[in-house]
Structure 1
């Protein structure tokens, strides 16, 4: 090609690129980094990208609590906007807390730049949730006193004042239900949730935590910790954003050491991990200026995308191996605890902390001295070990009356088989012998914890339409962590089965007195049990009602369903 013609075509191409980009300036860029896009501006912008580029598609994936739809923006080099077994699906979520909006603005620019430069990877489907908490995004103001910009932004709570990053088991919000259906349709291998930090001051713009490594299948965990994360950290450092783990301090300040984060299934990354999808919660530092935080978010999301492109075959193979293994796995951890005997160290860029008199109270107050930066290694504890384990049953049986739970199971990809007729089955039932309940509501629920169960083998009548759930499927982790009541984020913990905790029938003392006396005359063993209890417990011995209750609970009158957990285990033969 003639040199002059080549230069002319290059000039025209660059000019056309610049002209096209000028028509796609984001509200953030237009404000010179002072503002984040409004909900209307976000959707309008993605609609424009959809119209202009065949490799882009904006779709509505469901409802939200505020009445507006939840959107998903898809980018595919081959214009095929569905997950395929030969390419990685990377899902990026924005605006779960709309007061932390960096990811919203960063992803708008990243999507545009990938399309304009024609740099979409052929082996990755990029799926972006433009803004998840739509109601919170519409509730615009200044609600984060510890944050340095933008000028206005959305609110943490959604239209029902729910923190959506605590909703991924109970799914109270329409937003979360829509997200779960989308997640199960896409089946992503890698997930990013964009946030802004709270807490200590330090030099890092970018901090993040990965899906808790000790909960993942080794095929996924080993690759994530030994390959993906080191390369991600290297790429971020080269871009000018040396990262640190999410700053979760031992004590008052980061130099005391950092603790790993136990992202249980109520959180986005904990939810994703139950399906062998590894993820990252990005936390840009609240007190850095807003443009720096947006640039850090852009760098993080782009680096994750490029690693997905580079290692697509490995990521796909690891996920497939993990899914197959979990289908056959027999023993599962249902709760985890930090192993404080295992301590590593990380390089941390901080500021010296000190105390001085408060101008408000006159008492000591903490402050960070930005004139005294430091770089040093600090302790890091990020090893979690099982706190409770169990062997899975061959199957679970759940009566059809528990519709809310059945809907959740189906939405999350669990295969279920209804009984074809009324059937008498021998099952292991749990009796809920003890549990603690929170004194204050948390995200609309009074959570149960410290659950102790007593198993009992029983013959129970089930009916046509009740469900049998085999535990030979890739959703086993989700099944066990939601259906076993001892698990920290089980459906029982979130109050889905509270009606079984309510006794329905009682006795009248003056009538049951004669029945109880007759029972004691006929049953010497029961009479001895009562005597032993009296001898061991003076308060019991002085309480006539308690003694009648003791006898009543040992009769056929006492309801077998009281405190009986209504999900049953079919044990292997």
Structure 2
């Protein structure tokens, strides 16, 4: 039987098929899926929410049994396109793949296929030629969305309407497998197709072992058979890939990192920017089709694995908040590259790197893809959050977290974090000054809570999301993304000339405080030379200093 791509002579042609250096416009994309919806009962196009540009976000569903909702006995695969519309291969590939599956009556029986036709609608409408290093198509969309956000950094903070709509859709679908279609820049090499999988060391062992021992080997085999030998995403150490590739740490800000929080494994496909556009589209088609076929083949295993992982996460007590590369463990992979060399630049006259396509090579290169937990935390029995933080509660609810409200005003003894140190960059990143290097101390305190404040129990399948979002040391926590920055502001102060006498009386009547002050002056010369710093040191030991300053407002109930 002819492969699906070969059957297109009998079918309506997409803009790409009419001209292989073209990618579909937003209107053409949506019109295409609307036509498939009208033509086939097994297809359904729905609007799942608004985007920042005001246009709707669409989801296209393919179901052999015409039942378009997720079910416990059926795998759901979610394929995302156009998160960076300047990387449009997935858009064109999925248009053809959806049509071909329907026309050939080849829809999987045990798999619901869910396709986001184009995620970054604002970027898709902003059409031009912004990717100077890319080999086609003739014109395409822009990386930033209507708010100039990179949507593949927004999955945990959900600053855009696109992301909020995506999260609601994701929680309704609860997929087991996720694919995000992209185009890679960087080094030159022979591979048309590279990809990275969800970081294996962050997944539940049941999911991880199946993904790396069964799914990926079979996927790679299918890709090789179709003429697209894969390589890991080319994130290399040193100047060139020959020096070794490094696995990608897809934290929750990224699409696959977000999916991993809910025990869904995924793949970010990266076709190579400098290959001809038709080859990149075909590679995307082959990749997505292969993933769908494997989901169908292993449906029962994939479903059982996620169910086991969900049950385990509900009972899990220790969670990792950040991962770092383990450089002591080095594997190797076969890489199809081009020899790199250096020559004088025609612009600067200085040494410049280039790749010689007349000198291809095939060799094993080092591959570092083992990560270890950097920070771990034991989950509390529950978190308590004041109703004063409605945006946080909305985030939790939108991501499938069950919350309860307190029925009465209640005084509770809780474990309260105090932020003792953190680092922030001098310039914003995606509209935020992301906090890193967060240091904490914990105090047990009685705190007054009020009727309708929120209680979030940690006996849920969403525990990974809850803990990684609410623990302030999490690499992509709500604290890291500045959701709680107002607690870092001190609201009341003292007047030096008045507080001088109060401070003098305090140290006179409190020998322990006097000793602390003297010891700090002895070891800190700058402190010893600053009268206001010494007054502030004393002030912070008094009842006048506000207890809420630097106190993190998601309290732990242990």
Q: TM-score, normalised by structure 1?
A: 0.96
Give yes or no for contact 2:322–2:474 (8 Å, CA) kept in 1.
yes
Work out whether residues 193 and 229 of structure 2, in 8 Å CA contact, stay in contact via their aligned partners in 1: yes
Contact 1:21/1:116 (8 A) holds in 2: no
Are 2:25 and 2:124, in contact at CA under 8 Å, matched by a contact in 1? yes
Task: Give the conservation status (yes or no) of the 8 Å contact 2:75–2:295.
Answer: yes
Rounded to whole Å, the distance in 2 between the matches of 1:137 and 1:413 is 29
Q: 1:377 Cα shift?
A: 0.8
Distance, in Å, in 1 between the alignment partners of 2:227 and 2:111 is 25
- The CA distance in 2 between the partners of 1:128 and 1:545, in whole Å, is 61
Q: CA deviation at 1:19?
A: 11
Describe the shift of the 1:247–1:18 C-alpha distance in structure 2 as closer, same or farther (beyond 3 A).
closer
Deviation of the 1:366 alpha carbon: 0.8
Pairing 1:420–2:407 present: yes
2:122 aligned residue: 135
Residue 246 (structure 1) aligned to one of 221, 224, 233:
233
Match 1:342 to one of 287, 308, 329: 329
SS in 2 for 1:165: helix
Which string of whole-angstrom CA distances, capped at 9 and with x for unpartnered residues, describes residues 220-245 of structure 1? 00000000000000000000000000
Aligned partners of 1:287, 1:45: CA distance in 2, in Å? 28
Residue 100 of structure 1, CA deviation: 0.1
Q: Deviations over 1:151-191 (max 9, x none)?
A: 00000000000000000111110000000000000000000
Alignment match of 1:29 (pick from 17, 21, 32): 17
1:287 and 2:274 matched: yes
**Matched-pair contact (CA < 8 Å) for 2:7–2:100:** no
Q: Distance in 2 between matches of 1:465 and 1:95?
A: 40
Structure 2 residues without counterparts, runs of 5 or longer = none
Look up the match of 1:312.
Answer: 299
Question: What is the aligned partner in structure 2 of residue 365 from structure 1?
Answer: 352
Question: Does the CA contact (< 8 Å) of 1:492 and 1:498 recur in 2?
Answer: yes
Q: Quote the Cα distance in structure 1 between the aligned partners of 2:122 and 2:417.
A: 40
Moved more, 359-368 or 97-106: 359-368
Q: Report what 2:261 is aligned to.
A: 274
Give distance in 1, aligned partners of 2:178 and 2:390: 30
Deviations 1:48-75 (A, max 9, x none): 0000000000000001000000000000
**1:353-385 C-alpha deviation (Å, 9 max, x unpaired):** 111111111111111111111111111010000
Give 1:301's aligned residue.
288
Task: Say whether 1:525 aligns with 2:512.
Answer: yes
Pairwise CA distance, 1:291: 0.2
Give the secondary structure class of the aligned counterpart of 1:531: helix
Matched, 1:123 2:139: no
How many positions carry a matched residue from both structures?
555
Counterpart residue number, 1:11: none
- Please say if residues 8 and 100 of structure 2, whose CA atoms lie closer than 8 Å, have aligned partners that are also in contact: no
Q: Secondary structure at the match of 1:149?
A: coil
- Cα deviation, residue 313, structure 1: 0.2
What's the C-alpha RMSD, in Å, of the aligned pairs?
1.3
Cα distance in 1, alignment partners of residues 323 and 7 from structure 2? 54
Which has the larger Rg? 1
| Matched position secondary structure for 1:135 | helix
Instruction: Give yes or no for the alignment of 1:160 onto 2:115.
Output: no
Q: In 1, distance between residues paired with 2:515 and 2:327?
A: 48
Classify 1:345/1:30 alpha carbon distance in 2 versus 1 (closer, same or farther; 3 Å).
same
Instruction: For residues 531-550 of structure 1, give each alpha carbon's deviation from its aligned partner in whole angstroms, at most 9, with x where no partner exists.
Output: 22222223222222111111
Match of 1:122, SS state, is: coil
Superposed, 1:179-194 pairs within 5 Å as 179-194=166-181
Question: Which residue does the alignment assign to 2:418?
Answer: 431
Cα separation, 1, equivalents of 2:106 and 2:133: 37
Residue 206 in 1 paired to residue 193 in 2?
A: yes
Query: Partners of 1:385 and 1:543 in 2: how far apart?
Result: 43
Question: Is 2:527 aligned against 1:558?
Answer: no
- Equivalent in the alignment of 1:507: 494
Give the secondary-structure state (helix, strand or coil) at the position aligned to 2:552.
strand
Please say if residues 509 and 545 of structure 1, whose CA atoms lie closer than 8 Å, have aligned partners that are also in contact: yes
CA distance in 1, matches of 2:296, 2:413: 51
Correspondence for 1:408: 395
Say which SS state the counterpart of residue 553 (structure 2) adopts: strand
CA contact (8 A) 1:24 1:112 kept: no
Structure 1 position 21, deviation (Å): 6.3
If the length of structure 2 is used for normalisation, what is the TM-score? 0.98
Please state how far the C-alpha of 1:23 moved relative to its aligned partner.
5.4
Partner of residue 428, structure 2: 441
Runs of 4+ more than 4 Å apart:
17-23
- In 1, distance between residues paired with 2:256 and 2:512? 54
User: What are the superposed Cα offsets for residues 491-530 of structure 1, whole Å, 9 maximum, x if unpaired?
Assistant: 0000000000000000011111121122122212212222
1:421 Cα offset (Å): 0.6
After superposition, the Cα gap between the structure-2 partners of 1:287 and 1:544, relative to the gap in structure 1 and judged at 3 Å, is same
